[in-house]
Every structure is written in C-alpha cells, then in structure tokens.
C-alpha cells in the first residue's frame, strides 16, 4: 500500500516587513501567552517574541492553579518550555506591566503587544460580613496550597472548626474540597507547598459543604473532577434526593449539553449509592443545591470572625434561550462553619491606559483586537494591541480553550499585517528586546530569563527529591530571585 509524504502546513510570511523582524511582546506567560507565542513564531518566520511575566516563574495557572494532585494536567509545561527555548523567543520574568514597564513604553518598543495576563482578582459576593476573618477567596486558597509568592501569607485557620463551606460548585470549588478532604498522606507526595501540607496535616476540618445557587443540572463542574471527588477513599457523600428532581426546562438543558447530562448522572448515582449516614469519624462532603448566600454570620465569642452563612432557598426561573437563573424564595436557614471559601469566579484587573469592561471583566475586543473604548464600536480599534485568554473571554474554560483563543487572536494579527493595517508601525524597526532590557537595567529590575527559571526548576526538583515529591516549590520572592541569580 502506498504511503504518501506528510503534507507541509501552509503558513503566510510577510515579506513586506521582513527587512526588519516583527517584534512582539506578550504580557503573561500562562497558556494564553504561550499558545499565542507558539502560533506567532510558527506563522511569522522572522518574528521575535518576548514573553514577560511579573513572577520569576512562568506558566501562569498551570503552575499556580492546577491542583497538586493533577500532575498530568501540567504536562503541557513541556510543550511551553520548548516554545521558550526557541531561538526567537525570550521569557523575561519578574517584569511587571505598570510597574517595571508601562504599556505606552511597550508599544514604543514593539510592533505588536498582546495582553494575556489573565485574571488575578475575584468576583465579590457583595453581601454583609464578607470582610469577616475566615472568609477567603478560593483563588487565594489555591495560591496558598500551590506556593504562589502572593499566597504564602494567607495562613487560613483550619484548626478552629470541623466545617468548611465552599460557595460555588465549579472545578475550582471541587479542587478546594478535595484538597481539604484527601488523606494528607496522598498529598505528601505531590508538589503541594509544604506550609499548606503542614496546615492540612493539623487540620480539624471533617465536613465540607459545596453550596450552589441552582440545581444539579446547572452545576458548573465537569465529569472528571466530580468523579474524582466522589471517589475519595472513605468519604461520606451526601446529596438530597429531592434536589435531583428535574423539570422539563432541566431536561431541555441536558439535551443540549453532554457535559451537564453526564454531571447530573454522576450526582444522581452518588445520591443513592452510599450509606445514608456517615460512620463515626468519617469525613463528609455535602452537595447543597438551591441555596444562595444572604449574609455571613459573625461569631458571638470571637468578634470579627465568621461562624456561618445565612442562606436563602432559591427556585429556578427561565429567562429564555434555555437559561435558568436562581430567584430567592424568602425562606432562610443557617449553615454553621468556621471557614468559608468563595469560589464564584475570577476577575481580571484593569491596567492603566486601557479601556475595561467592568461588567464582563474583560478588555473590550473583537476577535482579539483591542478596542479603544467601551462603546462596543467595532471600528475603533487600538492598532497593534491584542488580547488573548481570560482577559479576552472572561475567566472560563480549560487550558485547551486558550489554544483556540490564541488561534483567533493570531489570525486577527496576521490578517492585519497582510492587509497593511499595521503598516504605519511595521514600516519602522523597533528596539524590542534590547530596548526593553536597557530600560529595565536602568531601573534596576532583576530580569529572570528562561535559563534562570531553569535554575529554579532544577533546585525545586532537587529539594523535592529529598522528600519524595516531584518538586518542593520555592515560595518567597527572595528565595526565587536568589536561586535564579545563582550560578
């Protein structure tokens, strides 16, 4: 049987500007940044791509978001590391947009700037008591157990209570529940930060409640994560059977979504599978549906500390196009706890000199081309400025979602180059990396190039091997910069 040669993939090259290389700066080194870099390097053979990140370590949420007990999900780091090692690409860590260098300066230095810095803040519940001690955002808790330098001082109190309430039922909520409930012997051989492992080993938390405003059909988690949390050894699972009742509207939703259908099936099975009561000393996971938080309750004995959540029962109401929202019914109940983790969504942080849609938490754009203002006018485009990832789409999706997101943004960029939209800037050479490094040097910014990250990587792996862990993360800025700078 004949075998044909593999066909070369077509790519466009832009010889009109090849007299000097296309210089691109990508802000953010998570999946959005790296997939964008990879695509640009492949599509534009003369391009030089710099990726800056305010942390000394690359990879964004792959390093600081993916749970320690999900090592396979982090395999994509190998692919990103090959991109960083490309001769036309440079990773520059410890360079913060708005602090080390401004957006205006970057646009001077590069032909194209792509913002891919994700979402480092949280949606706020907006109810009384949110400032009580013991109420944390899941994002910060995840940073804490993943050893992010900004998470190490969180110091959550896991010893004052046996009950944790998590608001939200997405995959981050499930991650947090799982880390709180898994036997610590299983966590001890992961890359979890050691300060978190110690705290979890001393934790008195035995019951976790996952609270969602809507029902099991609307739960935002996906099958793999749900299956995993339901399969934790010796864990009592509680789901109220009455919550599993479905309406025609629910059936319609499930008919249109394979994900929701399979999640609902898993929850149904789990509701009837196990024993009806926990055995003595057994850890418990409760799925609470149709409850929205009304306010956080303050402890009588410990002023300023949370002691529970006042919840309102909800019912679902259709708002057209198959969507249902939660409406309060005026019936309330209390759920006692000593710690609350809010997992209701991340939110992007705006940067100076850029329009920002506060409602959606994104930079206004059309297919990745940043718009000059919030008006939504698709013709008022900021030339040479693009966006990718959560900052473009909002904080949803998986790592792979950024693959397609980067494809779209780079397609817009390529189209703009081809049509001469960027001719006014691409006509001229730009200083790019050399110019950036010069300015940063003048400002005494200690840039961490990829080779320095490799030193950190090697040291973390070495420290990990002493404790039967894949790595022991360095969690302070000082330690990271010290190892980065050492020989």
Partner 1 sequence: MSMLEAAHENVIELEGACEGSLACSTCHVRVMDMEYYNKLEDPVDEENDMLDLAFGLTETSRLGCQIVASPELDGICLAIPAASRNFSVDGPGYSPSFQCLFLSETAPAIADGTMKEFGG
Contact set with partner 1 (CB under 8 A) = 1-7, 9-11, 43, 70, 72-73, 75-76, 78-79, 222-224, 227, 258-259, 262, 367, 398-400, 403-404, 407-408, 411
At its nearest, how many Å lie between partner 1 and the CB of residue 399? Answer: 6
* Residues 155, 173: Cα–Cα separation, whole Å: 19
189 annotated among ligand-binding-site residues? no
Q: Which is nearer to partner 1, 40 or 309 (CB)?
A: 40
Q: Which is nearer to partner 1, 1 or 466 (CB)?
A: 1
* Residues 376, 430: Cα–Cα separation, whole Å: 31
52 annotated among ligand-binding-site residues? no
Q: Which is nearer to partner 1, 230 or 437 (CB)?
A: 230
At its nearest, how many Å lie between partner 1 and the CB of residue 78? Answer: 7
385 annotated among ligand-binding-site residues? no
At its nearest, how many Å lie between partner 1 and the CB of residue 261? Answer: 9
144 annotated among ligand-binding-site residues? no
Q: Which is nearer to partner 1, 38 or 250 (CB)?
A: 38
390 annotated among ligand-binding-site residues? yes
Q: Which is nearer to partner 1, 284 or 407 (CB)?
A: 407
At its nearest, how many Å lie between partner 1 and the CB of residue 74? Answer: 9
169 annotated among ligand-binding-site residues? yes
398 annotated among ligand-binding-site residues? yes
Q: Which is nearer to partner 1, 42 or 455 (CB)?
A: 42
Query: Among residues 433, 386, 419, which one has the least CA distance to residue 14?
Result: 419
Q: Which is nearer to partner 1, 259 or 327 (CB)?
A: 259
At its nearest, how many Å lie between partner 1 and the CB of residue 240? Answer: 25
374 annotated among ligand-binding-site residues? no
237 annotated among ligand-binding-site residues? no
At its nearest, how many Å lie between partner 1 and the CB of residue 258? Answer: 6
Length of the chain as a residue count = 487
At its nearest, how many Å lie between partner 1 and the CB of residue 367? Answer: 8
Binding residues for FAD: 32, 61, 97, 390, 397-399
Binding residues: 32, 61, 97, 169-172, 213-214, 225, 390, 397-399
């Amino acid at each position: 049987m004949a075998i044909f040669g593999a066909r070369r993939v077509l790519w466009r090259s832009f010889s009109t500007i090849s007299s000097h290389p296309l210089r691109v700066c990508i802000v953010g080194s998570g999946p959005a940044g790296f997939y964008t870099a990879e695509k640009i390097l492949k599509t534009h053979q003369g391009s030089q791509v710099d990726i800056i990140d305010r942390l000394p370590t690359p990879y964004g949420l792959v390093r600081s978001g993916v749970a320690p007990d999900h090592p396979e999900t982090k395999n994509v780091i190998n692919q990103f590391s090959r991109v960083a090692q490309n001769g036309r690409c440079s990773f520059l860590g410890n360079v913060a947009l708005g602090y080390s260098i401004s957006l205006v300066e970057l646009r001077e230095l590069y032909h194209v700037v792509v913002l891919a810095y994700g979402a480092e803040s949280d949606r706020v519940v907006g109810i009384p008591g949110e400032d009580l001690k013991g109420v944390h955002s899941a994002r910060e808790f995840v940073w804490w157990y993943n050893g992010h330098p900004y998470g190490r001082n969180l110091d959550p109190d896991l010893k004052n209570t046996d009950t944790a309430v998590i608001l939200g039922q997405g995959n981050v909520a499930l991650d947090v529940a799982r880390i709180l409930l898994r036997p610590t012997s299983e966590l001890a051989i992961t890359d979890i930060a050691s300060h978190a492992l110690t705290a979890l080993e001393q934790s008195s938390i035995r019951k976790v409640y996952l609270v969602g405003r809507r029902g099991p059909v609307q739960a935002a988690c996906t099958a793999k994560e749900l299956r995993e949390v339901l399969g934790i050894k010796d864990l009592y699972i509680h789901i109220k059977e009455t919550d599993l009742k479905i309406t025609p509207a629910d059936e319609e939703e499930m008919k249109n979504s394979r994900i929701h259908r399979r999640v609902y099936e898993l929850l149904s099975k789990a509701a009837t599978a196990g024993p009806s009561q926990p055995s003595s000393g057994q850890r418990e996971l409760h799925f609470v549906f149709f409850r929205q938080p009304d306010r956080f309750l303050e402890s009588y004995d410990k002023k300023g500390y949370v002691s529970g959540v006042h919840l309102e029962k909800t019912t679902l109401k259709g708002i057209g196009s198959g969507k249902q929202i939660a409406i309060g019914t005026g019936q309330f109940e209390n759920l006692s706890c000593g710690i609350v983790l809010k997992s209701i969504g991340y939110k992007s942080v705006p940067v100076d000199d850029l329009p920002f849609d506060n409602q959606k938490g994104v930079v206004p754009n059309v297919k990745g081309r940043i718009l000059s203002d919030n008006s939504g006018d698709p013709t008022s485009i900021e030339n040479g400025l693009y966006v990718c990832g959560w900052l473009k789409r909002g904080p949803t999706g998986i790592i792979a979602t950024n693959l397609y997101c980067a494809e779209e943004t780079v397609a817009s960029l390529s189209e703009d180059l081809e049509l001469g939209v960027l001719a006014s800037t691409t006509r001229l050479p730009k200083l790019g990396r050399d110019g950036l490094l010069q300015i940063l040097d003048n400002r005494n910014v200690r840039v961490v190039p990829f080779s320095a990250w490799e030193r950190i990587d090697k040291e973390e792996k070495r420290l990990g091997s002493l404790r039967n862990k894949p790595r022991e993360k360095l969690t302070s800025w000082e330690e990271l910069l010290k190892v980065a700078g050492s020989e």
